[in-house]
Amino acid sequence: MMHVEEITRPKEILRSGHAACPGCGVALGMRMVLRALGNRAVVVVVPSCVAVISGPFPHAAAGVPMFHSAFEIAAPTAAGISRALALQGQEDIPVLAFAGDGGTFDIGLQSLSGAADRNEDIIYVCMDNEGYMNTGIQVSSATPQFTWTGTTPAGNTRRKKQIMEIMAAHRIPYAATASIAFPEDLTRKVLKAKELSGTRFFHILSPCITGWRIGEDMAVKVTKLSVETKLFPLYEIEDGLKYTINYQPDDLPVDRYLEVQGRYRHLTPEQTAKIQTEVDRNWQDLMGRAARAHA
């Protein structure tokens, strides 16, 4: 494990005074990503918690140029800036886009696919809090099965969309999951992505205090449990095929992750068992992909 203090003790890019709720997982993730990215970058945000966190006019929470673009166009917006910077001889300035799960899994999927297909020179970071939290907790296609939201009061009937598989299918140079509970891993991945060119994608699970019905001190703990229960494994995919699992989980039962969140309070034992089965199957699939890649 790398010592994060040795490689990244630079100044914070996301400054105090940002507009996130206390204990927000998204703000923590943005802070870690931006710190690793450095201040020589341009950042796109789109309507989501990410845009709110960045501050209302005339305040700006980040020490990099930022553009608050429209909901469904994080990727082509970043791509337009990246192309323009290249035309100005500044292709060494990375362009990063932050979008939520709604802006990535749902309304922005088409334009993200277009940018990935063209292998645009951008870093795209999906801060996934598993629902439309900025508008007050509505279901998205990143919301897991049985989850309570304001628009699925009896629990979500659909399963979570596998965004990493979709991005891998585009055969982009780099895609990685990352977690605010594993900052060294996250930092290493951002630094690695920064050295690459083409479309680079991050999927970061980012707890929402209000939407997940957890305490203000729980974001990191819950996220750690998501990794240790194998529900959100840490891995990276190079060129769409080379899967590498970056962390061997503790193999905790998924109940340990679910029981600490109010949004799962209503789960029946059968539903919990079904989630466990799904998690196990996904983990087996992931291990199979990694084994094939490294065979």
Partner 1 sequence: MKKFITGNHAVAEAVRLCRTQFVAAYHITPKTPIYEKLSEWEADHTLGGSMMRTESEHSAMAACLSASLTGVRAFTATSSQGVALMHEMLHFASGCRAPVVMACVNRTLAVPWAFWSDQTDSLAQRDTGWMQIYCEDNQEAIDSVIQAFRIAEAVLLPCMVVLEAHFISHFMEPVDVPDQELVEKFLPPVNIPKRFDINNPGFVAPVVTQSQYRTFRHLSHQAMEYAVNAIEEVGREFEATFGRSYGLVEAEGVEGADLVVVTTATITSTARVTLARLRKKGLKLGLVKIRVFRPFPTKAIRTLLDDVSKIAVIERNLSLGREGIFCSELKSALVNSPGEHQVQGYLAGIGGTDVNPELIERIILDALDRKEATDGPIWMMEEG
Instruction: Please report, as ranges, the residues that interact with partner 1 according to CB under 8 A.
Output: 39-42, 44, 51-52, 54-60, 62-70, 72-73, 75-81, 83-88, 93, 110-111, 113-115, 117-118
Cα–Cα distance between 220 and 53 in angstroms, integer?
Answer: 18
Smallest distance, partner 1 to C-beta of residue 2, A:
27
Tokens of residue 153, six digits: 């009061």
Query: Contact, 193 vs 174, CB < 8 A?
Result: yes
Smallest distance, partner 1 to C-beta of residue 127, A:
18
Smallest distance, partner 1 to C-beta of residue 150, A:
22
Question: Could you tell me which residues are beta bridge partners of residue 176?
Answer: 202, 236
Measured from the CB atom, the residue of 19 and 252 that comes closer to partner 1 is: 19
Question: Could you tell me which residues are beta bridge partners of residue 14?
Answer: 62
Smallest distance, partner 1 to C-beta of residue 270, A:
42
Measured from the CB atom, the residue of 73 and 218 that comes closer to partner 1 is: 73
Measured from the CB atom, the residue of 113 and 271 that comes closer to partner 1 is: 113
Smallest distance, partner 1 to C-beta of residue 97, A:
10
Smallest distance, partner 1 to C-beta of residue 128, A:
22
Measured from the CB atom, the residue of 112 and 234 that comes closer to partner 1 is: 112
Tokens of residue 67, six digits: 């553009």
Measured from the CB atom, the residue of 60 and 260 that comes closer to partner 1 is: 60
Measured from the CB atom, the residue of 32 and 96 that comes closer to partner 1 is: 96
Smallest distance, partner 1 to C-beta of residue 250, A:
41
Measured from the CB atom, the residue of 18 and 263 that comes closer to partner 1 is: 18
